[in-house]
């Protein structure tokens, strides 16, 4: 695990780049200051810290869902508020955003369809947006196969036709993860995606996600309350402390963070 907030990689452009960024919500009140952060393809970066310090806000800012107070946020080659190309960014929020009355397969297919490389280009941006929205709803054989594969990796094959509302919280979390894997994004943002899972299931889910990241040279930014797990899964562990995003440095830091989270 690298003890730094930014690493240098030869011949690689960062997939996430933050420069002089301040993030927050109400009344432009700053939660976190980030002078410089670069995350590269192939990296897994975990972010830890006590509740309310801005971890989720940081993730939502990178996703383009929250506007930064100041600074430059670049994701997948696009400077926010410009969005990355459709399907390049995958997001697993705490509240999951699943269609509760629809089946597991239907929900995962939404991700697979969003990740399809086909895209309509039109001089009228409104027509282009509507056309691509409709295109994402048209299932293809490739999208179906990707969905089935992602569901299998999450250990949910026996639930493939089950409606979301009948699943446990942990099963729903696995569906949201499968949906993101089926999308085949270049960057995955995951907000405590391992919560509500027992140890065995957690290992299955984590293995599937890490394999995807390594095999596809993608990147993962994950918020994780369990500091020991974050340290073991991540290439870098960053800690939000006193309004700043800092690298994990020593075992003392780890003990301090664990004390915060009790």
pLDDT of 200-241, one tens digit each? Answer: 889 999 999 999 999 999 999 999 887 888 888 899 999 887
Is the predicted pLDDT of residue 134 greater than 50, yes or no? yes
5-19, 80-94, 121-135: which is most confident? 80-94
Average pLDDT over residues 101-120: 79
**pLDDT band (50, 70, 90) for residue 252:** very low
* Of 77, 73, 81, 15, the residue nearest 44 (C-alpha): 15
Asked whether residue 133 is domain-assigned, the answer is no
CATH value at residue 233: 3.40.50.300
* pTM score, whole prediction: 0.81
Predicted local confidence at residue 148, as pLDDT: 94
Residue showing tokens 């009948």:
166
Q: What distances in angstroms separate CA 175 from CA 193, 195, 209, 213, one per listed residue? A: 11, 13, 13, 18
47-51, 155-159, 257-261: which is most confident? 155-159
Predicted local confidence at residue 121, as pLDDT: 52
Q: How far apart (Å, rounded) are the C-alpha atoms in residues 36 and 258? A: 25
Tell me how long the chain is: 262
Asked whether residue 51 is domain-assigned, the answer is yes
How large a percentage of the chain has pLDDT more than 90? 39
Asked whether residue 91 is domain-assigned, the answer is no
Asked whether residue 139 is domain-assigned, the answer is no
| Domain total of the chain | 1
Asked whether residue 94 is domain-assigned, the answer is no
3 state DSSP class of 253: helix
Question: Worst-scoring range by mean pLDDT, 54-58, 134-138, 177-181?
Answer: 134-138
Asked whether residue 222 is domain-assigned, the answer is yes
How large a percentage of the chain has pLDDT more than 70? 79
Asked whether residue 3 is domain-assigned, the answer is yes
Q: How far apart (Å, rounded) are the C-alpha atoms in residues 213 and 70? A: 30
Is the predicted pLDDT of residue 258 greater than 70, yes or no? no
Asked whether residue 171 is domain-assigned, the answer is no
**pLDDT band (50, 70, 90) for residue 115:** low
Predicted local confidence at residue 256, as pLDDT: 57
Residue 223 belongs to what domain range?
1-84+186-262
Burial class of 69 by CB neighbour count within 10 A (0 to 12, 13 to 18, 19+): middle
């Amino acid at each position: 695990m690298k003890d730094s907030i930014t690493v240098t990689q030869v011949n690689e452009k960062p997939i996430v780049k933050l420069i002089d960024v301040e993030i927050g919500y109400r009344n432009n009140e700053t939660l976190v200051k980030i002078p410089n952060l670069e995350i590269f393809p192939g990296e897994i970066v975990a972010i830890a810290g006590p509740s309310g310090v801005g971890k989720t806000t940081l993730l939502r800012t990178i996703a383009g869902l929250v506007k930064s107070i100041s600074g430059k946020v670049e994701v997948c080659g696009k400077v926010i508020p410009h969005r990355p190309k459709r399907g390049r960014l995958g997001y697993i929020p705490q509240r999951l955003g699943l269609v509760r009355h629809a089946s597991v397969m239907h929900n995962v297919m939404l991700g697979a369809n969003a990740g399809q490389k086909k895209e309509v280009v039109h001089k009228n941006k409104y027509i282009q947006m509507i056309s691509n929205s409709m295109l994402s709803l048209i299932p293809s054989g490739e999208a179906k196969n990707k969905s089935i594969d992602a569901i299998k990796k999450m250990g949910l094959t026996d639930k493939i036709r089950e409606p979301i509302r009948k699943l446990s919280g942990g099963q729903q979390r696995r569906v949201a993860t499968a949906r993101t894997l089926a999308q085949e994004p270049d960057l995955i943002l995951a907000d405590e995606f391992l919560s509500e899972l027992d140890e065995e299931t957690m290992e299955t889910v984590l293995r599937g996600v890490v394999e995807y990241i390594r095999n596809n040279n993608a990147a993962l930014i994950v918020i994780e309350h369990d500091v020991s797990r974050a340290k073991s899964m991540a290439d870098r562990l960053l800690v939000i402390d006193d309004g700043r995003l800092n690298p994990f440095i020593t075992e003392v830091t780890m003990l301090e963070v664990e004390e915060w989270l009790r």
